[in-house]
A and B are shown apart, each in its own frame.
Chain A
Amino acid sequence: MIGRAIGGVLVGNHAATVSDDCLIRNAWVCPEYVRTRADELAAATVEHLRITILSVVFGAVLSLPLALLARRIPRLRGTVLGLSTAIYTIPSLALFSLLLPFTGLSDRTVIVGLTLYSLTILVRAVLSGLDGVPEEVRDAGRGMGYSPNGLLWRVELPLALPVLIGGLRIATVSTVALTTVGTIVGSGGLGNLIQTGLQSDFKAQVFTASLLCVVIALVLDVLLIGTQRVLMPWRRAEAG
């Protein structure tokens, strides 16, 4: 508010010099802000990435055994799918709050919460990816003498890879966005900058941090698409 008032007065008197100063005008887009607060922005981006990547990696590591277990025991499958729908339905702010007694006011709360969300997406992806493997291919694999384990790692999982990476992309992109809500416990990465920007009516900070969130999501998504192309050269050959 103060910034805007001063800006208004000054723009009237010294239009030529001051109208360039986006910090005083409290503009949304302000290169000056990015230049002067580069350290703060970099630190928040690193924290954001750390929380996002840890959550998705934990989710991925946990989802595989859980999905395999659900596949082995049909009765467990319904429970796992039902639970994952329920967790996905809980709004992030409520989930972080419910974890508070166990994880306290720290980034652990955010990481555990976001791990649960990515887990729900990834368990579904693993199950539907494995369901999509044609029975003939499994038969052929068994006929070639693969053990159940060999069949899983050499035949089924590679064929499920497009669906797995699809799930990973959705989990990653939505986790980047949800990390901002972690600001409620003081660990929201770029979300902390958005929150303090709101409190001090600092538009450049809000806009830059928001834009960085979207850029991070896009970059991680492109990296995952790249990974898929590297891991599946036969697909690349088809496309080319």
Chain B
Amino acid sequence: MGWIGDVLAWFGNPQNWQGPNGIPQRLIEHVGVSAAALGIACALAIPIALWLGHLHRGGGLAVAVSNVGRAVPTFAVLVILVLLPDPFGLSTLSILTALVLFAIPPILTNTYVGVREADPAAVDAARGMGMSGPQVLFRVELPLATGLLMDGVRLAAVQVIATATIAALVAGGGLGAIITDGFGRQDQAEVIGGAICVLVLALSVEGGMALLQRRVDPLRAVRERSLVAAA
């Protein structure tokens, strides 16, 4: 169990907290590229999924995208992008592209299912009240789908953090680079130290997204109000 002491010593070493290979810098890189990828993926996937879900079209596409996303290894896509000519190759664009590609399926599928499965009685009532298509989508279907949509964004966030870690096997920084540097130096304490940093980040993102999800879901407020009313 001597390795535990080594890992603690690694965390205690001030050198590991400064400079371009230090934990803070690696964390900033990791969070930066992940947040950018998640933002781009949301901007691409949510409008398409809302539109398809509203029209009740393209269910096969949504399922296919999520199946393909699961079967294709993230590592393989990263390597292929890095071996492509400019503007890909060893660049941030390659990493970002891979992250976006793997963030899209959970967001697309969940949002699509959420809108499509929105309570038909509520949708019918909205139409009966004279709402236009966009009004039905944004005032009825979207609020009803928010729970599933946020599930998708949370899954995508977890996926992006994981893929950004694997990106260190191929190129670039992020917290995964601490792990791969450790393997390169055969320094087990550094490998495990880096892995603990990744673990803490991943669990914080998952926890943070779960909190956000509760805040954002409009139906939650309704449910709580009805609970208060019942009491």
For window 193-210 of B, CB contacts with A under 8 Å fall at: 194-196, 198-199, 202-203, 205-206
The smallest beta-carbon distance between B55 and chain A, in angstroms, is 27
Contact A203 B83 (CB under 8 A): yes
**Any B CB within 8 A of the CB of A6:** no
In the complex, besides A191-B75, A213-B73, 12 extra interface pairs with C-beta distance below 8 angstroms are A89-B158, A91-B176, A93-B162, A93-B179, A94-B199, A101-B188, A176-B73, A180-B75, A194-B73, A194-B76, A198-B79, A206-B83
**Any A CB within 8 A of the CB of B138:** no
Q: Which of A179, A181, A206, A217 contacts B71 (CB 8 A)?
A: A217
Q: Which of A85, A94, A207 contacts B179 (CB 8 A)?
A: A94
**Any B CB within 8 A of the CB of A239:** no
For B169, the chain A residues whose CB sits under 8 A away are: 93, 181, 183-184, 195
For B199, the chain A residues whose CB sits under 8 A away are: 90, 94, 98
Interface of B is mostly: helix
Known contacts A91-B165, A194-B79; is-contact A177 B74 (Cβ 8 Å): yes
Q: How many A-B residue pairs have CB under 8 A?
A: 123
Known contacts A91-B162, A92-B162, A93-B166; is-contact A177 B72 (Cβ 8 Å): yes
CA distance A172 to B222 in the complex (A): 40
The smallest beta-carbon distance between B170 and chain A, in angstroms, is 6
Interface positions of A (Cβ within 8 A of B): 85-86, 88-95, 97-98, 100-101, 170, 173-174, 176-181, 183-184, 191, 194-195, 197-198, 201, 203, 206-207, 209-210, 213-214, 217-218, 221
Interface positions of B (Cβ within 8 A of A): 3, 67, 70-77, 79-80, 82-83, 158, 161-162, 165-166, 168-170, 176, 179-180, 182-183, 188, 191-192, 194-196, 198-199, 202-203, 205-206
